[in-house]
């Protein structure tokens, strides 16, 4: 047991804390049959919407004064009061089989809480000198101040529930009634909102369901104020799925200006930070990075904004451990108005990082004709199995689908994908027609001369396909046909059938670097089936790409961008917000061995043609530092790809001329042997020093990812 664990449990069991919020994972790994005793008056259990796991809760009990109440009964009651003055314990009959794929929140509290459960539809909560505990057991929470607050007092938002810090309810922010923001986005699953006695406020509440396509982005007015927050001080389920901690904000102006105030404290063990990025008029994105401290800055110009809380994924058994805490406030106005905010006392103003841009995996389409811009589709090299839904669910979409498939590879006018295995880059295409059974039409051997319209038709009497049977057939084709070239494996659904079974088998495929694309052929006016969105890999779900075959080829290009798992490389997305392209910033690998700078350079070059990693913005600095912190290295220092020879000019290994630097005070020093740059990871801002190149430091190598036109990876 780690020292931190010991201290936490000692405090927990000593009775010093009277209330907590626990996720399903914490109940499973930390509470059941432990020595925890809670002396609160109430215990509450709030499940996620649509919870179906009640039967598994029959053998788990909240026990006080020798009275046991099963979690199944607690689920129905929401909250129960202890029968006497004894403390609560959570006990269970062995074996315990608690499935946490569905979430709940367990709350110990000294008073009966006013629990409000946000759903996927807007609802309203009125606070009149009162408080409400907002619980979205699985996801985050959005609040909208759509009717102005009345009264002269304050409105406070807390992380957690209960009564005060003794019950692990901590203040996130207090506003005067008239200054309460129009929007609050919390990535947490439990928060409390409290209005002073003379205050009345009506809040719109909504469950925030993360969506990799951002179809549920925050749709605001040009002059709104938006607050994004999260804390691990009460509960931190948000660290189990960090990819969900992101929100896209659209101020509905041709260009907007955002004034930003940030306050944050991040647990150094997990490399957390907040990334604020903005889309410019030409479609490019800039990025700001915030970590520990307080920052005030003004005039961030963009047409859309994206806020992402970046953190390491924490294992379910350790989900209570991260102590990150931040609040980011953004005040918007249409660009052109004066919005500059003077830095306040106790804050620092940070320079906007000058990112180098994403060097790899360009897969853009030109805006005029929708054709590849700067890349060649014939240089894509993947193995893709297309699943064509031939059930009645496809309806009119079936004809469109067959036409698209024939267009993917090429026409008499030329190739779109190369299928000749003798070419330096080639794609193997398989095709499965799926109705009540899987019919293999092409076993990774389809060419542009093959036609399918006369081979398939809608099968009457089959309302929809079994999506998972189709998956297993495609996976088997890929497994049987695997070659030594280690191409990216892709399964591409063209369907309108809803998955009606467990998708667990998909996770093994995607965790092994496989990609699942879903092209949902929705009929006009038809309601989307959420199961298909869950089936798709992040960034690979679409329901609007039937009109242009090249948009699918673009997805193949993105899928072709990856890092080799076998070499221990980690993909770095850079400033690209597209979840489908995880390696547009390169592939990085930490080497914990301490060696001279020249040996580090040779090591990177000889193991895949890499370079010592260059640092051109704060975001990449944090990413590289996180890699080193996760490696076995015990050194506080590591090399970066920045050095000089006999001239006074420092040069980057990647030949960049980016002016970004992060030298510590009095660095680079003038010592004649100090010609190689290193990072001092003990400094909060990861400052650089100039050191003797013959000293042995660990390092991170950067490699070009596999991509269209690059299979030397």
| Greatest mean pLDDT range, 17-26, 161-170, 315-324 | 161-170
Helix (H) or strand (E) holding 479: helix 467-480
Q: Is the distance from CB of 368 to CB of 435 less than 8 angstroms?
A: no
* 636-668 tens-digit pLDDT: 999 999 999 878 899 999 998 888 899 999 999
Q: What's the pLDDT at 269? A: 75
| 44 CB burial (10 A radius; 0-12, 13-18, 19+) | buried
DSSP-assigned letters across all residues of 376-402: -GGG--EEEEEEEE-SGGGTTHHHHHH
- What's the per-residue H, E or C state across 482-512? CCCCCCEEEEEEEECCCCCCCCHHHHHHHHC
- 597-602 contacts, C-beta under 8 A, 24 or more apart: 597/639, 597/643, 597/676, 597/693, 597/694, 597/697, 598/693, 600/639, 600/697, 600/699, 601/653
Q: Is the distance from CB of 307 to CB of 246 less than 8 angstroms?
A: yes
| Percent above pLDDT 70 for the chain | 92
CA distance 494 to 141: 33
Q: What's the pLDDT at 571? A: 93
Q: Is 628 helix (H, G, I), strand (E, B) or coil?
A: helix
Q: pLDDT at residue 321 above 60?
A: yes
| 422 CB burial (10 A radius; 0-12, 13-18, 19+) | exposed
Identify the bridge partners of residue 706 per DSSP, sorted by sequence position. 562
For the chain, the 3-state helix, strand and coil shares in percent, each to the nearest 5, are 20, 35, 50
- Residue 264 backbone class (left: φ over 0; alpha: ψ -120 to 50; beta: rest): beta
CA distance 344 to 296: 7
DSSP single-letter state for residue 293: E
Q: pLDDT at residue 69 above 90?
A: yes
Instruction: Tally the residues of the chain.
Output: 713
Q: What's the pLDDT at 92? A: 92
pLDDT level of residue 316 (50, 70, 90 thresholds): confident
Residue 163 or residue 31, greater confidence: 31
Q: What's the pLDDT at 19? A: 38
In angstroms, how far is the first alpha carbon of the chain from the final one?
40
Q: Is the distance from CB of 150 to CB of 132 less than 8 angstroms?
A: no
DSSP single-letter state for residue 254: S
Tokens for 705, please give them.
Answer: 């990812």
pLDDT level of residue 29 (50, 70, 90 thresholds): confident
Identify the bridge partners of residue 388 per DSSP, sorted by sequence position. 433, 494
* Bond from prior residue into 668 cis (ω within 30 degrees of 0): yes
Q: What's the pLDDT at 343? A: 31
CA distance 689 to 518: 48
pLDDT level of residue 117 (50, 70, 90 thresholds): very high
- What average pLDDT is seen over the chain? 85
* 42-64 tens-digit pLDDT: 999 999 988 998 988 999 999 99
Provide the 10 A C-beta neighbour count for residue 148: 12
| Percent above pLDDT 90 for the chain | 47
Residues 6+ positions from 578 with CB-CB distance below 8 Å: 539, 558, 584
Q: pLDDT at residue 5 above 80?
A: no
Residues 6+ positions from 68 with CB-CB distance below 8 Å: 61, 62, 91
Q: What's the pLDDT at 4? A: 35
Q: Is 471 helix (H, G, I), strand (E, B) or coil?
A: helix
Q: What's the pLDDT at 214? A: 54
pLDDT level of residue 313 (50, 70, 90 thresholds): confident
Q: pLDDT at residue 9 above 70?
A: no
* 349-382 tens-digit pLDDT: 233 333 444 578 989 888 777 889 889 999 999 9
Tokens for 357, please give them.
Answer: 């841009």
Tokens for 418, please give them.
Answer: 């190369």
* Bond from prior residue into 221 cis (ω within 30 degrees of 0): no
CA distance 382 to 62: 53
Q: What's the pLDDT at 347? A: 30
Q: pLDDT at residue 10 above 60?
A: no
Residues 6+ positions from 542 with CB-CB distance below 8 Å: 213, 517, 518, 519, 520, 551, 555
The pTM (predicted TM-score) of the whole model is 0.56
| 633 CB burial (10 A radius; 0-12, 13-18, 19+) | buried
Residues 6+ positions from 703 with CB-CB distance below 8 Å: 563, 569, 586, 587, 588, 589, 604, 608, 609, 610, 713
* 294-312 tens-digit pLDDT: 888 887 888 899 999 988 7
- What's the per-residue H, E or C state across 552-620? HHHHHHHHCCECCHHHCCEECCCCCCCCCCCCCCCEEEEEEEEECHHHHHHHHHHCCCCEECCCCCHHH
Provide the 10 A C-beta neighbour count for residue 364: 12
Average pLDDT over residues 74-99: 90
pLDDT level of residue 348 (50, 70, 90 thresholds): very low
CA distance 70 to 60: 6
* 384-443 tens-digit pLDDT: 999 999 998 887 778 888 888 888 888 766 789 999 999 999 999 999 999 999 999 999
Residues 6+ positions from 524 with CB-CB distance below 8 Å: none
Q: pLDDT at residue 471 above 80?
A: yes
Q: What's the pLDDT at 578? A: 84
Q: Is the distance from CB of 21 to CB of 43 less than 8 angstroms?
A: no
Residues 6+ positions from 562 with CB-CB distance below 8 Å: 488, 513, 571, 582, 583, 705, 706
pLDDT level of residue 563 (50, 70, 90 thresholds): very high
DSSP-assigned letters across all residues of 175-243: EEGGG--SEEEE-SSEEEEEE-TT-EEEEEEEEE---TT-TT-EE--TT-EEEEEEESSS--GGGTSGG
pLDDT level of residue 336 (50, 70, 90 thresholds): low
Tokens for 608, please give them.
Answer: 């895949």
Q: Is the distance from CB of 472 to CB of 457 less than 8 angstroms?
A: no
CA distance 130 to 36: 31
Q: pLDDT at residue 283 above 90?
A: no
Q: What's the pLDDT at 358? A: 57
Q: What's the pLDDT at 113? A: 92
pLDDT level of residue 3 (50, 70, 90 thresholds): very low
Residue 323 or residue 581, greater confidence: 581
Residue at token pair 């938002």:
157
CA distance 638 to 495: 50
Residue 36 or residue 463, greater confidence: 463
Q: What's the pLDDT at 354? A: 39
């Amino acid at each position: 047991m780690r020292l931190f664990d010991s201290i936490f449990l000692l405090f927990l069991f000593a009775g010093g804390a009277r209330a907590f919020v626990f996720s399903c994972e914490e109940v499973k790994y930390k509470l059941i049959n432990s020595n925890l005793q809670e002396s609160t008056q109430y215990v509450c259990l709030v499940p996620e919407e649509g919870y179906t796991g009640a039967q598994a809760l029959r053998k788990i009990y909240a026990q006080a004064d020798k009275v046991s109440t099963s979690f199944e009964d607690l689920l129905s009651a929401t909250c129960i009061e202890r029968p006497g003055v004894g403390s609560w314990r959570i006990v269970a009959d062995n074996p315990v089989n608690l499935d946490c794929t569905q979430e709940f929140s367990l709350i110990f509290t000294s008073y009966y809480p006013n629990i409000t459960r946000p759903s996927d539809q807007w609802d309203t909560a009125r606070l009149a000198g009162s408080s409400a505990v907002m619980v979205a057991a699985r996801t985050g929470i959005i609040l909208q101040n759509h009717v102005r607050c009345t009264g002269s007092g304050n409105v406070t938002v807390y992380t957690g529930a209960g009564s005060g810090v003794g019950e692990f309810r901590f203040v996130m922010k207090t506003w005067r009634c008239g200054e309460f923001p129009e929007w609050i986005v919390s990535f947490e699953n439990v928060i409390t909102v409290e209005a002073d006695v003379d205050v009345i406020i009506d809040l719109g509440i909504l469950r925030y369901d993360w969506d990799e396509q951002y179809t549920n982005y925050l749709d605001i007015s040009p002059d709104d104020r938006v607050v994004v927050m999260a804390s691990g001080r009460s509960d931190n389920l948000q660290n189990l799925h960090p990819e969900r901690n992101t929100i896209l904000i659209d101020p509905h102006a041709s260009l907007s200006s955002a004034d930003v105030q940030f306050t944050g404290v991040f647990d150094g063990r997990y490399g957390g930070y907040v990334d604020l990025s903005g889309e410019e008029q030409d479609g490019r994105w800039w990025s700001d990075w915030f970590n520990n401290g307080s920052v005030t800055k003004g005039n961030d110009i963009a047409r859309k904004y994206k806020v992402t809380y970046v953190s390491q994924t924490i294992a379910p058994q350790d989900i209570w451990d991260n102590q990150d805490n931040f609040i980011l406030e953004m005040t918007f106005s249409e660009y052109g108005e004066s919005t500059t905010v003077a830095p306040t006392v106790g804050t620092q103003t940070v320079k906007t990082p000058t990112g180098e841009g994403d060097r790899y995996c360009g897969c853009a389409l030109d805006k005029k004709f929708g054709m590849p811009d700067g890349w060649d589709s014939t240089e894509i090299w993947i193995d893709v199995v297309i699943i064509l839904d031939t059930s009645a669910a496809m309806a009119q979409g079936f004809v469109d689908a067959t036409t698209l498939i024939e267009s993917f590879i090429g026409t008499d006018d030329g190739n779109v994908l190369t299928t000749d295995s003798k070419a330096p880059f080639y794609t193997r295409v398989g095709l499965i027609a799926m109705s009540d059974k899987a019919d293999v039409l092409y076993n990774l051997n389809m060419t542009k001369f093959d036609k399918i319209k006369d081979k398939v038709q809608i099968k009457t009497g089959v309302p929809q396909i079994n999506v998972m049977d189709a998956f297993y057939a495609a996976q088997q084709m890929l497994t049987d046909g695997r070659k030594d070239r280690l191409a990216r494996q892709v399964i591409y659904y063209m369907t309108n059938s809803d998955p009606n079974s467990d998708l667990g088998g998909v996770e093994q495929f995607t965790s092994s670097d496989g990609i699942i694309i879903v092209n949902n052929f929705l009929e006009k006016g038809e309601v989307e089936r959420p199961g298909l969105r869950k089936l798709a890999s992040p960034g690979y779900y679409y329901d609007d790409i039937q009109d242009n075959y090249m948009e699918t080829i673009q997805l193949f290009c993105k899928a072709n961008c990856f890092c080799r798992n076998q070499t221990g490389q980690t993909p770095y997305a850079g400033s690209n917000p597209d979840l489908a392209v995880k390696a547009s910033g390169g592939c990085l690998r930490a080497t914990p061995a301490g060696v001279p700078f020249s040996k580090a350079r040779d090591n990177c070059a000889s193991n895949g043609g890499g370079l010592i990693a260059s640092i051109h913005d704060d975001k990449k600095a944090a990413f590289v530092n996180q890699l080193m912190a996760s490696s076995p290295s015990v050194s506080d220092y590591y090399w970066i790809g920045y050095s000089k020879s006999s001239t006074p000019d420092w040069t980057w290994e990647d030949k960049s001329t980016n002016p970004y630097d992060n030298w510590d005070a009095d660095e680079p020093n003038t010592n004649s042997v100090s010609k190689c740059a290193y990072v001092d990871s003990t400094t909060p801002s990861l400052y650089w020093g100039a050191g003797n190149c013959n000293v042995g430091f660990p390092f991170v190598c950067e490699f070009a990812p596999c991509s269209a036109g690059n299979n030397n990876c």
